């Protein structure tokens, strides 16, 4: 006798399949959001690289400065956003106001300026 259990099994399989489908859709959605986030970061990075580079070797910035500005969200929670207007791995020379990578700046003076001292 197996007829009486069949519908239970079918109901279970149906629910399982549906759950699987929902799970896949959720994954696809979060992948899409992730891709969009990546694209946006790429765009902001290209923007940053257009504006800044090391004046000695031409190295482009690869990261924004972290925690650039204070943002008050809902619930008044404070979050520190990356500041995409300032490069995180270049420093500004205090003499020429140009930007230089770590290798070409010392005590806030770039190599080009230091060689003229």
Residues that bind Zn ion (CB under 5 A): 54, 56-57, 59, 93, 95-96, 101, 104, 110, 113
The Cα–Cα gap between 108 and 14 comes to: 66
CB of 41 to Zn ion, least distance (A): 23
- 84 vs 91, beta carbon nearer Zn ion: 91
Residue 52 or 84: which CB sits closer to Zn ion? 52
Residue 94 near residue 88, CB atoms below 8 Å: no
Least distance (Å) between residue 51 CB and Zn ion: 16
Q: Distance between CA atoms of 113 and 105, rounded to whole angstroms?
A: 9
**Comparison of 64 and 90: residue with beta carbon closer to Zn ion:** 90
Rounded-to-integer distance, Cα 49 and Cα 103, Å: 18
């Amino acid at each position: 006798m197996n007829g009486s259990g069949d519908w239970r099994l079918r109901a279970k399989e149906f629910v399982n399949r549906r759950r699987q489908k929902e799970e896949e859709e959720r994954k696809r959605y979060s992948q899409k959001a992730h891709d969009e986030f990546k694209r946006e970061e790429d765009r902001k990075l290209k923007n940053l690289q257009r504006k800044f580079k090391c004046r000695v070797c031409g190295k482009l910035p690869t990261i924004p400065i972290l925690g650039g500005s204070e943002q008050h969200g809902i619930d008044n929670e404070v979050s520190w956003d990356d500041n995409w207007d300032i490069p995180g791995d270049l420093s500004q020379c205090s003499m020429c106001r140009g930007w230089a990578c770590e290798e070409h700046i010392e005590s806030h003076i770039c190599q080009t300026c230091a060689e003229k001292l």
